[in-house]
Structure 1
């Protein structure tokens, strides 16, 4: 069984129930936990009374890397999603200068030294510090950028998606979120100790312009921006999937089995669900 609480005895000798942290099982003070980061536009989807301050601080550091170095960084700039301090984002998708840590954090196919900045007029700009790429664009030999999810980024992004999924479950049912079937996802989100990467699934839907709409009301023009979407899905009463959409990117993880069968494709029958993963040999 999953551990949601511990039984203690108060000063009068009466048993009381104390809820433990969803992720680390400690009885440290709780704090409000934003299920989806505020820097993706979330200001109301908040989990309370379930995540301790230490785990909240740990996840904030994890999210900072995801929001700065994955495709979520691009969407933040393109959609003009302000930070929790009210600032428009400027992100740099360059790779680190050297490898650090267990998982490789660089890839030769990645277009390096590229950043994006959002502006007050609703536009976004790209900064390119690579003359080769600039010349290819000017010569009409390039129409896009290549951003590679390295093993390091997949490791961090998988933990982030598991964290989001577990917290969505907890909002729906605390006991289910704490059950044994989701123990690996909880631990991977908090400690990353699966022993390998947690496979991530991906598909694209729509066009970038679909998420910016302009409408007219009595006060004039209003811009509506659709920042993100999310869902929890059950497949064949066997798999629990967490789905997060930001822009055209749709990311999926299986919360109760990191290595599900292709049966999960039935949850998204209209789309080409692809697994993004590195084998242990590729990770090195």
Structure 2
């Protein structure tokens, strides 16, 4: 067995590779052991996933909706004291709410600020709540997810995985994940397609649960493959063939108001006074079974 990214022998790999990071709520979509070598797994975790998870966009979303990391811990909310370059974090600990400084070196400055806050000692804290992840790391994460989705679908046919590894067509995006220098910039498309709080029915219990993520591959009329990934309503799309999203923009123009991961999967959005809901059961091709409370996955062509 060889690694999907560096092509080195990977039979001795011991790490488990989650196609979508476990800290984004994925506990089901996992590559067979050995498809990613330990060095590549560790590199991706340190250089791509950790910077994204620590960024306030994903960090505050994960904290707000109590999405645990791989150790079962919840991220803290990142906040800023207006007028000061001082960051704080807020979490619910075992003994109740906890507010701490991001940097211990800010202790003197915050003490002076609180002393001048008046008799009540109150000060405002702003907790950013918008999705604006670092573009480079987000692009490389989408590329990593895309290659692993392909590999997962081919995992039952070793010849197919071997072709994916050896085919020079994939070397450019493979290097974008591993090194990040081909090219300097690989754009992705981002938009919000439903509110963060949107609900969907659990396929087993029938209970309403929060729609976490949806993932799919889209083949446009340009014959370009895109990975399309929705996380709590935010849709990201990346072209696997090269650093251009024009084909996806054309698809959006040709299908105004549609998402390839909602209507094309047999779902529809309904909003009432109480909530927004994803209605319907997605029409998925066979191959991967996992909890719809975590996400849904399929493959559609244009």
TM-score, length-normalised on structure 2? Answer: 0.61
1:55-82 deviation digits (Å, cap 9, x = unpaired): 1111111211111105222321222111
**Partners of 2:98 and 2:143 in 1: CA distance:** 32
Q: Name which of 153, 158, 173 aligns with 2:139.
A: 158
Matched, 1:46 2:20: no
- Residue 263 and residue 158 in structure 1: after superposition, are their counterparts in 2 closer, same or farther (change >3 A)? closer
Deviation at 1:92, TM superposition (A): 3.0
**Secondary structure at the counterpart of residue 80 of structure 1:** coil
Which runs of 5 or more residues in structure 2 are unaligned? Answer: 103-109, 114-125, 155-160, 261-302
- Residue 260 and residue 269 in structure 1: after superposition, are their counterparts in 2 closer, same or farther (change >3 A)? same
Q: List aligned pairs for 1:226-241, cutoff 5 A.
A: 226-236=211-221, 238-241=223-226
Contact (CA 8 Å) 2:68, 2:74: kept in 1 or not?
Answer: yes
Could you say which structure has the higher strand fraction? 1
Counterpart in the other structure of 1:205: 193
**Partners of 2:130 and 2:38 in 1: CA distance:** 33
Deviation at 1:237, TM superposition (A): 5.4
Deviation at 1:236, TM superposition (A): 1.3
**Partners of 1:223 and 1:115 in 2: CA distance:** 31
Matched, 1:35 2:19: yes
Counterpart in the other structure of 1:64: 50
Contact (CA 8 Å) 1:41, 1:227: kept in 2 or not?
Answer: yes
Counterpart in the other structure of 2:184: 196
TM-score, length-normalised on structure 1? Answer: 0.64
Matched pairs, number: 222
- Residue 69 and residue 213 in structure 1: after superposition, are their counterparts in 2 closer, same or farther (change >3 A)? farther
1:23-82 deviation digits (Å, cap 9, x = unpaired): 011114334311011111111111123110001111111211111105222321222111
1:3-26 deviation digits (Å, cap 9, x = unpaired): xxxxxxxxxxxxxxxx32110111
Contact (CA 8 Å) 2:188, 2:238: kept in 1 or not?
Answer: yes
**Partners of 1:169 and 1:209 in 2: CA distance:** 30
Counterpart in the other structure of 1:186: 174
Counterpart in the other structure of 1:106: none
**Secondary structure at the counterpart of residue 34 of structure 1:** coil
**Secondary structure at the counterpart of residue 208 of structure 1:** coil
**Partners of 2:145 and 2:209 in 1: CA distance:** 25
**Partners of 2:98 and 2:192 in 1: CA distance:** 23
**Secondary structure at the counterpart of residue 183 of structure 1:** helix
**Partners of 1:90 and 1:156 in 2: CA distance:** 21
Deviation at 1:244, TM superposition (A): 1.3
Bigger CA drift: 24-33 or 172-181? 172-181
Which runs of 5 or more residues in structure 1 are unaligned? Answer: 1-18, 95-110, 132-142, 274-284
Contact (CA 8 Å) 1:241, 1:255: kept in 2 or not?
Answer: yes
Matched, 1:85 2:66: no
**Partners of 2:18 and 2:198 in 1: CA distance:** 26
